[in-house]
């Protein structure tokens, strides 16, 4: 099966590595060509010079880009995919995208006989490496069945969220909860440090109690207390995700003040910490504001 993979970033490269073997015949494209070349030195893959070249013979195309804006650009921009996609091809967009753009791309492609599913992933770089990502997809079941082996190559828990755009919506809300949990755990621990409680003691109790979350159980012990802050998922991308969730709530007239406040706080964190910071570094903003370190 001929597969094209566009976007070899922190998670994209790990996902693509599972497709660099039989029964797949993989072509990769990345904006920064050196990353695609490095990938092809380590894996069985051809490098394409442009998105158009990458997709011209592909039966399945996967995009894994920062946001739907870049997916649009790779579709419509110079040397973009649009005119090279073959009729009958399925575009699987693994970007954590936004539902309205995914719906509009799906509608445009449908007029050309090309199918689209939004299929964002969760589980981070650890699950991407292991090929055990959770995949939440939106679109038609019959389309999905044609690409199931491709998705199963990197996904373990694979869930149909609904119509096109539903995968994006579910992903944005999941990540909104992640953002809320990171900041709420950081605020709580900053308060406790000020109250004279050591963070190790605080987490021992919280993680045996109802205040626990993935942030308190894993992210803070492994990345904050150690001051390691490895970059696995950029803060800028989480800010984008919670922004999508806030707009989704607004568009649906849903009352979601915690999501909209956390979106504002992540915007502040992105301004403070920059484009390269990891998402967990948002804790540093709370630390600075409170004049404490959680360690
Ligand atoms: P990165 O920021 O590491 O990589 C982004 C990729 O997109 C790179 O290949 C980059 O190319 C490319 N890119 C950026 N801008 C453009 C552009 N204008 N045109 C073409 N290509 C572009 O992101 P991740 O790999 O971490 O994330 C990809 C998607 O997966 C995002 O939507 C993210 O939210 C989602 N995701 C990420 C997770 C993670 O743990 N990292 C977990 C779950 C979902 P270049 O190399 O040239 O910069």
Question: What distances in angstroms separate CA 166 from CA 4, 110, 119, 252, one per listed residue?
Answer: 24, 17, 9, 13
Section 165-194 average pLDDT:
98
Mutational pocket test of ligand 1: of 65, 234, 276, the residue with most ligand atoms within 8 Å of the beta carbon: 65
Q: Which two tokens stand for residue 216?
A: 């308190």
Please tell me if the CB atom of residue 50 comes closer than 6 angstroms to any atom of ligand 1: no
Output the pLDDT for position 242: 98
Q: Which atom of ligand 1 is nearest to the CA of 35?
A: 46
Give me ligand 1 centre to Cα 275, in Å.
12
Section 265-278 average pLDDT:
98
Q: Which atom of ligand 1 is nearest to the CA of 125?
A: 40
Section 107-131 average pLDDT:
98
Q: Model confidence at 186, in pLDDT bands (50, 70, 90)?
A: very high
**Which residue has tokens 């660099």?**
20
Please tell me if the CB atom of residue 32 comes closer than 6 angstroms to any atom of ligand 1: yes
Mutational pocket test of ligand 1: of 8, 9, 167, 280, the residue with most ligand atoms within 8 Å of the beta carbon: 9
**Which residue has tokens 């996904």?**
155
Q: Which atom of ligand 1 is nearest to the CA of 7?
A: 9
Please tell me if the CB atom of residue 64 comes closer than 6 angstroms to any atom of ligand 1: yes
Output the pLDDT for position 90: 98
Q: How does pLDDT run across 138-157, given as a tens digit for each residue?
A: 999 999 999 999 999 999 99
Q: Which atom of ligand 1 is nearest to the CA of 6?
A: 9
Please tell me if the CB atom of residue 66 comes closer than 6 angstroms to any atom of ligand 1: yes
Please tell me if the CB atom of residue 30 comes closer than 6 angstroms to any atom of ligand 1: yes
Catalytic machinery residues = 171
Measured by CA distance, the residue closest to atom 42 of ligand 1 is 124
Contact 23, 59 (CB under 8 A): no
Please tell me if the CB atom of residue 242 comes closer than 6 angstroms to any atom of ligand 1: no
Picking from 195, 181, 197, the residue whose alpha carbon sits closest to that of residue 283 is: 181
Output the pLDDT for position 81: 98
Q: Model confidence at 214, in pLDDT bands (50, 70, 90)?
A: very high
Measured by CA distance, the residue closest to atom 18 of ligand 1 is 70
Please state, rounded to an integer, the average pLDDT across all residues of the chain.
98
Output the pLDDT for position 173: 98
Output the pLDDT for position 243: 98
Section 191-212 average pLDDT:
98
Q: How does pLDDT run across 55-110, given as a tens digit for each residue?
A: 999 999 999 999 999 999 999 999 999 999 999 999 999 999 999 999 999 999 99
Measured CA to CA, the distance from residue 73 to residue 15 in angstroms comes to: 21
Peptide bond just before 23 cis, omega within 30 deg: yes
Q: How does pLDDT run across 220-265, given as a tens digit for each residue?
A: 999 999 999 999 999 999 999 999 999 999 999 999 999 999 999 9
Extended strands (E) in the chain: 2-6, 25-29, 46-47, 60-63, 90-93, 115-118, 121-122, 133-138, 155-162
Q: Model confidence at 115, in pLDDT bands (50, 70, 90)?
A: very high
Cβ-based burial of 38 (10 A; exposed 0-12, middle 13-18, buried ≥19): middle
């Amino acid at each position: 099966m001929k597969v094209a993979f566009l976007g070899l970033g922190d998670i994209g490269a790990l996902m693509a590595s599972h497709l660099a073997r039989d029964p797949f015949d993989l072509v990769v494209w990345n904006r920064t060509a050196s990353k695609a070349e490095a990938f092809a030195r380590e894996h069985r893959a051809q490098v394409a010079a442009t998105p158009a070249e990458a997709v011209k013979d592909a039966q399945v195309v996967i995009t894994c880009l920062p946001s739907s804006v870049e997916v649009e650009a790779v579709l419509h921009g110079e040397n973009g995919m649009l005119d090279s996609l073959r009729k009958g091809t399925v575009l699987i967009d693994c970007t954590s995208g936004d539902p309205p753009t995914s719906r509009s791309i799906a509608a445009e492609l449908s007029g050309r006989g090309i199918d689209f599913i939004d299929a964002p992933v969760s589980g981070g770089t650890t699950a991407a490496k292991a090929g055990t990502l959770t995949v939440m997809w939106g679109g038609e079941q019959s389309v999905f069945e044609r690409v199931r082996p491709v998705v199963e190559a990197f996904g373990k828990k694979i869930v149909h969220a609904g119509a096109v755009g539903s995968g994006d919506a579910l992903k944005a809300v999941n990540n909104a909860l992640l953002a809320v949990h990171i900041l709420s755990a950081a605020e709580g621990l900053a308060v406790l440090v000020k109250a004279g409680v050591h963070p190790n003691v605080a987490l021992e109790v919280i993680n045996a109690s109802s205040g626990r979350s993935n942030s308190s159980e894993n992210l803070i012990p492994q990345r904050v207390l150690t001051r390691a802050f490895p970059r696995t998922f950029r803060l800028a991308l989480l800010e984008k995700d919670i922004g999508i969730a806030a707009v989704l709530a607004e568009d649906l007239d849903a009352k979601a003040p915690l999501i909209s406040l956390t979106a504002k706080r992540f915007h502040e964190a992105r301004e403070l910490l920059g484009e390269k910071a990891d998402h967990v570094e948002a804790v540093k903003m709370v630390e600075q504001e409170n004049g404490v370190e959680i360690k």
